[in-house]
Amino acid sequence: SANKPDRALQLVTEEIPILVITEARLDGTLDGFGLLHDIREISNIPMILLSDRPTTDDELRALENGADDYLPKPFDSRILLARVKSILRRSKNTPAAPEIIQCGSLTINQVSRQVSVDEVAVYLTETEYNLLLELAKHPDQVMLHEQLLREVWGPEYRHELDYLRSYVHILRKKLEKTPSQPVLIVSLSGIGYKLVSNPSIKTKGK
């Protein structure tokens, strides 16, 4: 453990932990968001940000910059433990066999866990990748909100709809040509989301 973010960054590079938990707002040369940014420059280590002054903007900022979870205080320690276990469980998941998934200009390489659009690499965090992969495994099929939350995050997240929406928003910004008018990841209001295998064909939803 480290009580200053600059020391935490040093430990990450020296000891390579399996998960990092940090306060969103810290004293020192870096705050939690700065630490998140710097770690994401060098590693995909799962990260959880904690906040005693949670805001929607801070949560979105954390998720958009690569945090795997954002947990407002106060919280039950059992909730933190459950989320840590869920993140570590997801990070250990590997595809059963080498496979490349193609959906229009989107390519997902399950071996290297790399994603590209029009042959241009797109950086995704562990959670973003797992959500995209879950959708891509069921192309043109509506995945229910609760189903996606359960499969990607774990059963303890099954009612965190705002959480799912935040990650879909992030994926659209990274993958869609016009995120406000998505054609790849479309939603069915009140039901779920689906990944369109041929985005050039108009589909219902938004």
Q: Which CATH number does 1-92 carry?
A: 3.40.50.2300
**Domain locations in the chain?**
1-92, 96-206
Residue 17: closest CA among 37, 45, 49: 45
According to the model, what pLDDT value does residue 203 have? Answer: 46
According to the model, what pLDDT value does residue 197 have? Answer: 86
According to the model, what pLDDT value does residue 26 have? Answer: 66
**Rounded distance between C-alpha atoms, residue 177 and residue 11, angstroms:** 38
The parts of the chain modelled with pLDDT lower than 70 are: 1-7, 13, 26-30, 93-98, 200-206
Q: Which CATH number does 96-206 carry?
A: 1.10.10.10
Q: Is-cis flag, bond preceding 182, omega within 30?
A: no
According to the model, what pLDDT value does residue 44 have? Answer: 78
According to the model, what pLDDT value does residue 93 have? Answer: 62
Indicate the residue type of 86: S
**Rounded distance between C-alpha atoms, residue 188 and residue 49, angstroms:** 30
Indicate the residue type of 182: P
CA distances from 80 to 69, 108, 159 (A): 10, 31, 16
Helix axis angle, 56-64 to 32-42, nearest 10°? 20
According to the model, what pLDDT value does residue 84 have? Answer: 92
CB 7 within 8 A of CB 20: no
pLDDT tens digit string along 158-205? Answer: 888 998 999 999 999 999 999 999 999 999 888 999 999 887 655 445
